Amino acid sequence: MANVAVIGAQWGDEGKGKVVDWLASRADIVVRFQGGHNAGHTLVVGNQTYKLSLLPSGLVRGKLGIIGNGVVVDPEALLAEIARVRAQGLAVGPETLRIAENAPLILPLHAALDQAREAARGARRIGTTGRGIGPAYEDKVARRAIRLADLGEPETLSARLDELLLHHNTLLQGLGAEPFSKDVLLARLTELAPLLLPYAEPVWERLDEARRAGRRILFEGAQAVMLDVDHGTYPFVTSSNTVAATAAAGAGVGPAAVGTVLGIAKAYCTRVGSGPFPTELHDETGRLLGERGHEFGTVTGRPRRCGWFDAALVRQAVKVAGIQGLALTKLDVLDGLPELRVGVGYRIGGESFRHLPAAPGAQAAAVPVYETLAGWQGSTRGARSWAELPAAAVKYVRRIEELVEAPVILLSTSPERDDTILMRDPFEG
């Protein structure tokens, strides 16, 4: 029995929530391995809508949730989210949620620096969620982060705060923002310690045991391949590796334990924040896609930029992340459009490319090369079998498979959990 890693194959918001929820119901353990509370997953279960940012989605299905060491954990955001879902009737506590003892923490100074830097960038801003994700990862690799286990050692905490504040207060003051007081931070972390430490453990050990006992593990990615700090549209990316390989390092398991890699892609494309988006539409069709697809950020509420499906981009994501099968979502949003376009490559300064080059100038200048496909008049909404789909919709999906060089193994035709066409169960490998 394989484990499964689920990752976004575009710029995020591909509708991971629904797919992850379906997979979580078939898993024993759900693990978050990167990102932080910049992610937003909406899960509709019965008459309840859960909006999760940091908690693994499996909790909603009563499965053990694990937050791996690759995640940056904001204690205040975590406790607030736990309180929110508890108020909705979910049992979340140390019995159902475990957090890697070596996970780095996000402190208020990280969000302050994130926001101050974005303000200073002006028109060149990245469009971050402002939640301190980037600065927290920077502190991790700079070896000055406070990690969950440090909350149990007052001397470590005090020494780490000295080092952190030396760095951050200098920067914050340089950017015209308020510095932070060590006493205030230390007092708050001391208050938080007994609330958080009961969740802490070496999760790698639990995952190793689970694996040996034949338990099914679902690795739940956040953001998406084109926001990966190495493989994405740098610098307009998040600060973690979002590819499936990160599931191993970000949870403390070997690469072979990650299992089947499932990529999620929308039948069109969206992006929030700044950065290149070659197939973006600034016309009526773009507006229509946004309206029909309810394209507003879960975390920040920002309207998403919309455009045609970019097969060259998704093919690149398939290759760099080792995606073995795709879940294609929101096909119904394209219903009734007279014709559809799919990006198959780019023209940049008179040259043809099958991929998006790394240099920012080239990315900004990339003009998509389109293939035009027939639209369909009938509805795909709620379809649960291929037979229910209009012929042109089947053709569209088949053409996408050819272009991205990966099979579509799951097709989602509405936000409802059961409106799904499943070709292959990823847990079966």
381: tokens are 């909404």
The yes or no reply on residue 223 touching ligand IMP (CB under 6 A) is yes
Binding segment for ligand IMP among 161-169, 209-217, 221-229, 382-390 (CB under 6 A)?
A: 221-229
The yes or no reply on residue 246 touching ligand IMP (CB under 6 A) is no
* Helix, coil or strand: residue 152: helix
The yes or no reply on residue 220 touching ligand IMP (CB under 6 A) is no
Return the residue matching tokens 């019995």: 95
Alpha-carbon distance 52 to 56, whole Å? 8
Closest CB 190 distance from ligand IMP, rounded Å: 28
* Helix, coil or strand: residue 412: strand
The yes or no reply on residue 329 touching ligand IMP (CB under 6 A) is no
Find the catalytic residue in 21, 37, 41, 228.
Answer: 41
Position with the least CB separation from ligand IMP: 273
Closest CB 220 distance from ligand IMP, rounded Å: 12
Alpha-carbon distance 145 to 113, whole Å? 15
Q: State which of positions 111-140 bind ligand IMP (CB under 6 A).
A: 126-129, 131, 133-134
Closest CA to 222 of 347, 35, 85: 35
Contact in structure between 99 and 199 (CB atoms under 8 Å): yes
Report the amino acid identity of residue 246.
Answer: T
Give CA separation, 57 vs 71, 150, 415, in Å. Answer: 14, 27, 16
- Known catalytic residue at 114: no
In which element (H, E) is residue 32 found?
strand 29-32
CB nearer to ligand IMP: pick between 40 and 56:
40
CB nearer to ligand IMP: pick between 221 and 252:
221
Closest CB 208 distance from ligand IMP, rounded Å: 29
The yes or no reply on residue 227 touching ligand IMP (CB under 6 A) is yes
Closest CA to 78 of 153, 17, 151: 151
CB nearer to ligand IMP: pick between 189 and 227:
227
CB nearer to ligand IMP: pick between 40 and 307:
40
- Known catalytic residue at 208: no
Backbone angles phi and psi of 364, in degrees to 5? -70, -30
Q: State which of positions 33-72 bind ligand IMP (CB under 6 A).
A: 38-40
In which element (H, E) is residue 263 found?
strand 260-266
Closest CB 15 distance from ligand IMP, rounded Å: 11
Alpha-carbon distance 409 to 263, whole Å? 10
Closest CB 254 distance from ligand IMP, rounded Å: 27
* Residues engaged in binding ligand IMP (CB under 6 A): 12-13, 38-40, 126-129, 131, 133-134, 222-223, 227, 236, 238-239, 272-273
